[in-house]
Amino acid sequence: MTNISNKNVKYNKFMCDFYNEFSKINNNYSDLVFLCIGTDRMTGDCFGPLVGNRIKEAIGNNNIKCTVYGDLENPLIYSGIDKSLKEINEKCDNPCIIAIDAAL
């Protein structure tokens, strides 16, 4: 994985720091994937999609190699997880998948 500097991530320093630390811990993963689970149709269950939006904003056009499933525009609900996991496994050899969910 490519190491990036903080100046390349204008919106969210956390994402840059997280990515750099993650790269140091284990570089055997082919991809970093976030599953941001939830919906804005249920009060309190939009935590995952909100985080998905923030991650997408933070990575923007920067040199961070990660994929985000689930945001406010395209929420990932529980019933869609199997389809997303199948797609991830078809695209990635050895992904690190991080799930984010309000767990309501």
Residue 34 in contact with residue 55, Cβ under 8 Å? Answer: yes
- Quick one: tokens of 39? 């919906």
Mean pLDDT on 15-42: 83
pTM of the model: 0.78
Distance CA(72)–CA(49), nearest Å, equals 5
pLDDT tens-digit profile of 49-99? 999 998 888 777 666 778 999 999 999 998 999 999 999 999 998 999 999
Distance, CA of 56 to chain centre: 8
Residues 63 and 4 sit within 8 Å (Cβ to Cβ): yes
- For the cut 60, the answer to whether the pLDDT of residue 11 exceeds it is no
Q: How far is the C-alpha of 55 from the C-alpha of 64, rounded, in Å?
A: 10
Both tokens of 18, joined, read: 């997280």
